[in-house]
Amino acid sequence: MSVISNEDQKINLLGLDQEGLKSFCASMGEKPFRAVQLERWIHRRGAKNFDEMTDLAKSFRAKLAQVAEIKGPEILRDKTASDETRKWLVDVGGGNAVEMVFIPEKDRGTLCISSQAGCAMNCLFCSTGKQGFNRNLTSSEIIGQLWHAEHTLRKDRGVTDENERVISNVVLMGMGEPLQNLEAVVPALNLMLDDHAYGLSRRRVTVSTSGLVRQIDKLAERCPVALAVSLHAPNNELRDKIMPVNRKHPIEDLLAACKRYLKVAPRDFITFEYIMIGGVNDSEEQARELVRLVKDVPCKFNLIPFNPFPGSGLLRSPEQSVKAFSKILNDAGIVCTIRKVRGDDIDAACGQLAGEIKDRTKLAEKRADRQIIIKEITSSSTRSPGEEK
């Protein structure tokens, strides 16, 4: 597992899960229990240097300082919205920065983290995808977001008990496609679940995907947590246009992968995310088509009002359309919730995370047909009900 970019740098222990720490300690001639000590100091207590680790021998601390470090994220910007949603802009080097968001609620605290600098999925409705893609984040950059947010929030709230968590849920729904970066994502997930680190339940850690079928199977094998699938359309024709990934992984294959995942999933349902875009995917007939599509897949739907961003060319569905759509799903026996818009006054709402990305894929240039596609999919809303599929 690679946690450093070249041989001259110290190893960043922040990104090593327990197995990685055991291997590291073994390479230094230390016993496996040292790995647990390091893990607890770094993640449970938020230690930033080895001098804080008072129950480690001075000789061991001296050796650690020569070859390793605990390097957390550099925060470029820290904003809090009127609804107390908090967003951090994190420097990941090379002119790139990613965003993470903390959403406080009465019964939980949810952190939305990023897994890539940019995103190569190029979905029509997403601000991140509009920027293009630069690189995968390392395990330390992924878990570092939780490390920073948890210990910053503890300090702000005066929490001194290491067993008291501020963040109860983590969703990999920020910038990037997590399943394109499994080699770094899995060690980060292991740390989230490990009782010596963050001790989160598998049910409270969610990986979101645009629909990478083979990678869903790999996640099932390596670290099954809650799964959220970005569906956003009731048929291949529309999904092809708004989510290019569908051309390679059509809906039938995706739903089959979801059924396989349920055999090992911590929940007995798949969550389907569905962004409500005005005049594109929000008609009552499309809701009925969706019911027919997922009739054999245990699932719940999370309807997300589209959050506009500069140059999107798309509109948020009217509230009455969202409610009518939701009613059709609920009446069919499908659990359906409507996500509250949170943090949109600081561009922290779903689909708005943008950060600062140097696009090495030139996706922005390749998206020259964007307006043509938008015009094509929105023009269908002018058809009369009898003309709808």
List the catalytic residues: 99, 350
Q: State residue 67 phi and psi, 5-degree precision.
A: -120, -10
- Which is it for strands 226-230 and 205-209: parallel, antiparallel or unpaired? parallel
The 8-class DSSP code of residue 356 comes to: B
Q: Which two tokens stand for residue 363?
A: 């996706």
DSSP 26-37: HHTT--THHHHH
In sequence order, the 6+-apart residues with CB closer than 8 A to the CB of 3 are: 11, 12, 15, 16, 20, 138, 139, 140
Q: Are 102 and 86 in contact (CB under 8 A)?
A: yes
Residue 367, SS3 per DSSP: helix
Phi/psi zone of residue 13: left (φ > 0), alpha (ψ -120 to 50 degrees), beta? Answer: alpha
What count of residues does the chain have?
A: 389
Dist CA 4 CA 17 (whole Å): 15
CA-based R_g, the chain, Å: 22
User: Edge-to-edge, what's the strand order for the sheet holding 205-209?
Assistant: 74-80, 86-91, 97-105, 108-112, 169-172, 205-209, 226-230, 270-276, 299-305, 335-338
Q: Which two tokens stand for residue 121?
A: 């999925």
Q: Residue 75's closest CA among 64, 62, 65, 88?
A: 88
Nearest to 167 by CA among 191, 137, 199: 199
Lookup: tokens for 197? 């680190």
- Distance, in Å, from the CA atom of 246 to the CA atom of 248, rounded to the nearest integer, reads 5
